[in-house]
Chains A and B, each alone.
Chain A
């Protein structure tokens, strides 16, 4: 069904020291990572971290100021991008096109004959349960179905590398599960996927590797397990008495810093505890000082926790 045409040993994608600055001064400052064949890499970062800029540089939609983008061991060029499928952040299809037309058009642009392109389109539509809608104009499809068609457009030509900008945005739970299954199948055939997302849950469920972006830089690149191990041992607490909190924290040998989030006058703090101090010890100490605690959330040893730790102050800001 889905076959990813991987032919060489070079990684499908390698980005090194990528720099792109816009007139506003934003963009990306130093991005480096690589995507291995047969893997799914999550590209994680807050809004404005530089994810879309990096993806556009990979696709050739923008010219980087410096740095290297290699595809399948070759410098980035139109020919090198022939085996790459792309789902842009700005999603759209021609409303009058039929679902099969939209997919077949993309396949034909990448060299498929008319007959093979429509055969491929029909196969993909059947794969995501849209076989009965193949002749329906895009304008008659639901938003979720239109997005599924758009994802199929990205894989219409059977690429070896998929670059997807927020592929799960706008999809309901069922459609998300279907697309995740599609991606897993693509990976199992040797294909590589790089996708950006805000959802840590999706990334954790789907990714083998993650790249964490913050403030225009890649601050982590590695296996998912290694990323989650970066999650600190600590607690998010929301209190309105900074002085007392600091006394408690010092007493436990911990560290505290203001963190994103506020509840009225109360501030949210991230308290990093020594490994030998359990959460209840902090809770008890706060209670002993009769400090009003509005929130107490242990930092999970998951990707979200790791993300906050890795993105650090930049992300918190």
Chain B
């Protein structure tokens, strides 16, 4: 049985791999990601992004100049760009840097308003100390003791200057992370379902289904198709995800690290990763078998597309449900866990501790039972005659 499943899967992979459009789709992800990176880079180079305005307040002009130098250095490293305002424009500033304290002992750097990029803290510390050292060296009393006293000065950055690319609320960050994971799997699932529908309609249109059914069980055909298309969709997902991670992690997009961190946060726990994988496999079998069944019941591609519309409608509902979750506008209703088409996505969107062990086991049981039931129904549909066209006599079955 396994052998026939593998043979049918290999045939399915070969069917897709032999057409250029598959390779175009495979390369499209990395190419799009690269283009996005290049667009980000060029937009940064052109300074098209609105600059973050900063006001520096200090009684010491030397320290003010040193802070300005530090912010100019930040601008050289990457977005967002910082523009320093003078005192007359104080009311329009996004952020205020207060330099306070005793220049002989401790300088406090307090950032008010919009946070600064991560690198700003280190550069401010470096340049403020350099300014103090320069003053000690060029002063009239330049001595070893004076230089040693500069080494003892501490620069304290009071407010953590974090880049403003992610929600500061940890709960919201986790929600966005889970949403990103769900959407990745959702997109992959929708793409794979389209491929499955075509795979079975192709057998009908090539008139090869009866020959195949004579040599293999209908369940073997279903699981062979699922396996073949599953392998292809994972390959596509890996290409897109790998390219996205590569581009986001590259120096070209320093600001992308925040988004990447969110996506990777969704995968950071191995246990959650395994759970997500298992949920995805069950969802793929559940929806995939349904699509195969509907494709088998259709006479041609237009009929198959019509029959499969409700399935894609449900998936659209899933998308909007996930969207409401990520915004935190609406909480997931408990009963949604037990509605099989929604179960996989509710499980994936739920916070790690939100579902109890029993609820999780129940959800997996619901998905497994639904996958079996849908597979059985699809297996029946494969051996039945397709639905006839309207207005034509059903002749095939009675010949």
Q: Please report A residues at the B interface, Cβ cutoff 8 Å.
A: 22, 24, 26-27, 47-48, 50-53, 59-63, 78, 81, 84, 86, 88-96, 105-106, 108-111, 150, 153
Contacts of A48 in B (CB 8 A): 398-399
Contacts of A59 in B (CB 8 A): 210, 213-214
- Give the contacting residue for A61; candidates B3, B208, B383; CB below 8 A: B383
Residues of chain B in range 190-222 having any CB-CB distance to chain A below 8 Å:
206-211, 213-217
Pairwise interchain contact A24-B207, C-beta atoms closer than 8 A:
no
Name the residue among B3, B214, B397 with the largest chain A CB count within 10 angstroms: B214
- Give the contacting residue for A81; candidates B18, B214, B399; CB below 8 A: B214
Pairwise interchain contact B206-A92, C-beta atoms closer than 8 A:
yes
Contacts of B209 in A (CB 8 A): 90
Contacts of A88 in B (CB 8 A): 207, 210-211, 214
Contacts of A95 in B (CB 8 A): 206
Interchain Cβ contacts under 8 Å between A and B, 26 examples: A22-B398, A27-B397, A51-B399, A59-B210, A60-B213, A61-B210, A63-B383, A84-B214, A86-B210, A86-B214, A88-B210, A88-B214, A89-B210, A89-B399, A90-B209, A90-B210, A90-B396, A92-B206, A92-B211, A94-B206, A94-B208, A95-B206, A96-B15, A105-B7, A109-B4, A109-B7
Which residue from chain A places its CB closest to the CB of B11 in the assembled complex?
A105
- Distance (Å) between the CB of A95 and the closest chain B CB? 7
Complexed CA–CA distance, A86 and B396 (Å): 17
- Distance (Å) between the CB of B18 and the closest chain A CB? 6
Complexed CA–CA distance, A91 and B210 (Å): 8
Pairwise interchain contact B216-A24, C-beta atoms closer than 8 A:
no
**Given A53-B397, A53-B399, A96-B15, is A90 in contact with B207 using a C-beta cutoff of 8 Å?**
yes
Total contacting residues, chain B, CB less than 8 A: 23
Pairwise interchain contact B7-A94, C-beta atoms closer than 8 A:
no
Contacts of B206 in A (CB 8 A): 92-95
Interface membership of B394, Cβ < 8 A: yes
Contacts of A105 in B (CB 8 A): 7, 11
Pairwise interchain contact B207-A91, C-beta atoms closer than 8 A:
yes
- Give the contacting residue for B399; candidates A47, A60, A110; CB below 8 A: A47
Complexed CA–CA distance, A86 and B346 (Å): 47
Pairwise interchain contact B7-A92, C-beta atoms closer than 8 A:
no
**Given A24-B398, A47-B399, is A62 in contact with B210 using a C-beta cutoff of 8 Å?**
no
Pairwise interchain contact A26-B11, C-beta atoms closer than 8 A:
no
Contacts of B397 in A (CB 8 A): 22, 24, 26-27, 53
Complexed CA–CA distance, A89 and B397 (Å): 11
Main secondary structure of the interface of A (DSSP, over half): loop
Contacts of B3 in A (CB 8 A): 111
**Given A24-B394, A96-B18, is A61 in contact with B213 using a C-beta cutoff of 8 Å?**
yes
Proximity bits, B384-399, A CB within 8 Å = 1, else 0: 0000000000101111
Contacts of B15 in A (CB 8 A): 94, 96
Pairwise interchain contact B398-A106, C-beta atoms closer than 8 A:
no
Pairwise interchain contact A106-B208, C-beta atoms closer than 8 A:
no
Pairwise interchain contact A86-B399, C-beta atoms closer than 8 A:
no
Contacts of A81 in B (CB 8 A): 214
Contacts of A150 in B (CB 8 A): 211
Which residue from chain B places its CB closest to the CB of A56 in the assembled complex?
B210
Complexed CA–CA distance, A38 and B215 (Å): 23
- Distance (Å) between the CB of A60 and the closest chain B CB? 8
- Give the contacting residue for B383; candidates A62, A94, A153; CB below 8 A: A62
Which residue from chain B places its CB closest to the CB of A110 in the assembled complex?
B215
Complexed CA–CA distance, A88 and B213 (Å): 10
Which residue from chain B places its CB closest to the CB of A47 in the assembled complex?
B399
- Give the contacting residue for B215; candidates A26, A52, A106; CB below 8 A: A106
- Distance (Å) between the CB of A150 and the closest chain B CB? 8
- Distance (Å) between the CB of B67 and the closest chain A CB? 68
Contacts of A52 in B (CB 8 A): 399
Proximity bits, B356-399, A CB within 8 Å = 1, else 0: 00000000000000000000000000010000000000101111
Complexed CA–CA distance, A111 and B3 (Å): 8
- Distance (Å) between the CB of B298 and the closest chain A CB? 15
Contacts of A24 in B (CB 8 A): 394, 397-398
**Given A53-B397, A53-B398, A105-B11, is A92 in contact with B208 using a C-beta cutoff of 8 Å?**
yes
Complexed CA–CA distance, A90 and B397 (Å): 12
Contacts of B398 in A (CB 8 A): 22, 24, 26-27, 48, 50, 53
Contacts of A96 in B (CB 8 A): 15, 18
- Distance (Å) between the CB of B12 and the closest chain A CB? 11
Give 3 closest A-B pairs by Cβ, nearest first: A92-B207, A88-B210, A52-B399
- Distance (Å) between the CB of A55 and the closest chain B CB? 10
Complexed CA–CA distance, A111 and B18 (Å): 25
Name the residue among B4, B206, B208 with the largest chain A CB count within 10 angstroms: B208
Complexed CA–CA distance, A47 and B253 (Å): 70
- Give the contacting residue for B208; candidates A47, A89, A93; CB below 8 A: A93
| Other A-B pairs beyond A22-B394, A92-B211, A93-B208, 15, CB < 8 Å | A24-B397, A53-B397, A53-B398, A60-B213, A62-B383, A86-B210, A88-B207, A89-B210, A90-B207, A90-B396, A93-B206, A94-B11, A109-B4, A110-B215, A111-B3
Contacts of A94 in B (CB 8 A): 11, 15, 206, 208
Pairwise interchain contact B215-A109, C-beta atoms closer than 8 A:
yes
Complexed CA–CA distance, A61 and B210 (Å): 8
Complexed CA–CA distance, A111 and B1 (Å): 10
Contacts of A153 in B (CB 8 A): 211
Complexed CA–CA distance, A59 and B398 (Å): 16
Complexed CA–CA distance, A90 and B206 (Å): 9
